[in-house]
A and B are shown apart, each in its own frame.
Chain A
Amino acid sequence: MALTVPEKGWFQTKIAKDEKAWIIIALIVCLSLFVLMAGWHVVGKQNASSIVYDTSPDEFYKLSQANWRKYKIGEEEGIPVVKPPAGSDVFILATTWRWEPILVLKKGAEYRFHISSMDLVHGFSLQPLNMNFVIHPQYDYVLTFKPTSSGDFRIICNEFCGFGHHTMIGKITVEE
């Protein structure tokens, strides 16, 4: 009774058959979810990385510039276009309100993305795939991507970062 003290012996009352069956089903589902989540780290190909480094905006900016200089192939809208070789480190810089550089990647190759912010927290949202990560200042988030589809992709910011938030959009091209 929701408004009164339970009757004596409430703790010893046997659980009804249907309720017991339901609890067992629910428990099995919960355990499966847990196993799925942990197991995907072993068998699955999509897992957020465990690699992260402390950095500073200054240091990360310097590394990015050095990295882009090596692989720069042009410029678009004042943003460097960078084509890193397969298997290399790739630096992506989030600044209010800009994603740099524009990347040209190859389908099926692996790249170690280093992503960090110069100022606020930003959201790295890869469209139209819809893969989303949170990017912090002071942290170098290392995510190893392997593009499995080709075409034109966009990085949009999906964490509020001021009134220009909606203008923060970048580009990745994946070649066959």
Chain B
Amino acid sequence: MFMKCDLTGFNVDKRVIPLIKANAVAATVSLLLAVTAALLVLLTRWQVIHLLPVDWYYRILTFHGLVALVVWVVFWEMAGLYFSSTVVLNARQIAPWLGWLSFVLMVAGTGICAFTILTGRADVLFTSYAPLKANPLHYLGIILFAVGALIVCGLFFANLIVAKKEKTYGDGPLPLFTFGLLTAAILAVGTLLPGAVIFVPTFLWSLGLIETMNSTVYRIVFWGFGHASQQLNVAAMISVWYLVAFLAVGGTSINEKVSRGAFFLYLIGINLASAHHLLTDPVPSPSWKVFNTGYFMYLAVLASMIHAFAVPSAIESAQRRRGFTKGLFDWLKNAPWGNPAFSSTFLALVGFGFIGGITGVVNGMEQTNMIVHNTLAITGHFKGTVVIGTTLTFMGVTYYLLPLIFRKKISFFSLAKIQPWVTWIGIAMLSIGFSIIGYLGVPRRHWDITFSGGPFTYTFPEIADLFWVVSVLGGTIAFIGVLIWVFVVVSTVFFGKPVKSKADMDTQMPIVSQPPALEHHKGFVAPGTFVLTLIFIATFIIYATLNWGWLSALWEVR
């Protein structure tokens, strides 16, 4: 049942490899569908082209939201859960048949949803706020998908418990990468359960078995699912950052206690952040809003900022020990930028922090949320988290999965090297463009912002037109970036040369050995990272000040 991996030395359960492959393939297909839908949506929103008619716009938008925010990332994370709880721990996979059952459930769920949406039976968008009603099949599809994913989380916990009992990974706590994914799996249970909890009554309501659905309860429970599912992406993404820092430069967290402590803070506080979706709702009360979005006094924000130091400092420390000690940023200049997994990770980290992180924290404050709620700025924010962070990270680490799991040398490697940059630039433009347009008042999820057919008209400030061009350009570039990735991945899997030895791997995606140990010294371990984080905090304070200044100029309301 086991084979020894000649590249990593891990004892690999042969039965888990096809499970990882199947989920990774499903994820790739979903991503391709999601970005194609995204481009159609974007070209409709840009009034100059206004591509789709109104019904198809909302249909494709519903499809895009569900496939991008849930299907793509969750399939990928399932692959990650299998990998981190077996391969990394030299452990066996418990009940692989259950894994296959859940895979079938998830694929079937996705298929049912896609069918109902694309046949016009579920024009309710991703959020499907009751009393907006879809065909019962739509809710059934989501329930099947959530149940499938929950089973995989259960398998993950079972694998961990058995591995510990059988002492497959030595005596001590889990490796950091697996611990991070444990955090993600715990958050996943917290998100998938509410998902099932809210969609079961909604399903019954849609069938006519329940009379009414309370719209506020729906929103509370839905966001317990809808936002928390993005928090598990954050935990999974950061675990991958630690993994890539380790593989690509031999970097390890400069303090394991700090990194694990930060994941622990996520476990306490991050899911409560779901409350920021309800900041401008009539209920629940302000105390509930402040307490929950205060994430227990911002414990989760603190945790993200800790990771924001811990990941680059792991890279910096390793690079410095390897001799790149000149100045503040010699280590960064000499980082392995030719390794697409590394460049993806570093770009994702910068993008996630500076774009997604800063907008997220400020937009998520109770009062400043009033300026951006349901505007395109929110869309801009999550392009800066889910896409530039999570998606880019997952795409990047796939370059390691190809030789390690699929045992193929990457085809068109020079294309692979530029792909992270293309994607990053595109998404950064899209995200910043959308944010600015949103601050100008443009709503999200809106077919025609000239309000044709309405009793009045309204014209948004002209400067918005310029940022529409920036956004459309960015979106198109990002789309091309994803196409390059899909092309490289598909041609590698089907036509790539097999990886026969470690030498084959070293020419493209080397697993770098550990640098010499840190000599005891008193100064800063990562001065470059420290400067980067100070720049970050300065940017954050400027952005927050602008928002609060804007807020104080609005009409008074209480």
Contacts and interface: CB of A to CB of B under 8 A. Distances in A.
Do A and B originate from a single complex? yes
Interface of A: 1-6, 8, 10-11, 13, 15-19, 21-23, 25-27, 29-31, 33-34, 36-38, 40-41, 44-50, 52, 76-79, 97-98, 119-121, 123, 125-141, 143-149, 154, 156-171
Given A132-B375, A158-B375, A160-B58, A48 B557 contact: yes
Nearest to A108: B556
Given A16-B524, A169-B458, A5 B170 contact: yes
B512 interface: no
B175 A146 contact: no
B452 A29 contact: no
B307 to A, nearest CB: 11
B455 A169 contact: yes
Interface string B111-143: 000000000000111010101100000000000
A76 B129 CA distance: 32
Contact of B375 (A44, A128, A130): A130
Given A36-B365, A130-B441, A18 B215 contact: no
25 contacts: A1-B175, A2-B176, A2-B239, A2-B242, A19-B526, A22-B309, A29-B305, A41-B286, A45-B557, A46-B554, A48-B280, A79-B455, A121-B131, A123-B443, A125-B374, A128-B461, A131-B555, A134-B281, A138-B214, A139-B216, A140-B282, A144-B558, A158-B374, A158-B446, A163-B58
B245 A2 contact: yes
A40 B558 CA distance: 11
B302 A40 contact: no
Interface residues of B, number: 111
Those 9 A-B pairs whose CB atoms lie nearest each other, nearest first: A158-B443, A30-B298, A5-B172, A2-B246, A52-B282, A26-B305, A141-B282, A132-B373, A146-B556
Contacts of B540: 29
Given A10-B256, A48-B279, 20 more contacts: A4-B170, A6-B173, A10-B257, A18-B529, A22-B309, A25-B533, A25-B534, A26-B302, A30-B301, A77-B456, A127-B441, A131-B555, A136-B216, A145-B555, A158-B445, A160-B445, A166-B448, A166-B452, A167-B451, A171-B456
B454 interface: yes
Contacts of A146: 555-557
B525 interface: yes
Contact of B557 (A49, A50, A140): A49
Interface of B: 54-55, 58, 88, 123-125, 127, 129, 131-132, 169-177, 214-216, 219, 239, 242-243, 245-246, 252-258, 278-283, 285-286, 289-290, 293-294, 297-299, 301-302, 305-306, 309-310, 313, 361, 365-367, 370-375, 439-441, 443-449, 451-458, 460-461, 514, 522-527, 529-530, 533-534, 537, 540-541, 544, 548, 551-552, 554-558
Contacts of A136: 215-216, 281-282
Given A141-B282, A156-B451, A169-B455, A132 B132 contact: no
B454 A169 contact: yes
Nearest to A166: B448
Contacts of A137: 131, 215
B524 A17 contact: yes
Contacts, number: 311
Most B Cβ at <10 Å: residue of A10, A36, A138, A162: A10
A15 B456 CA distance: 61
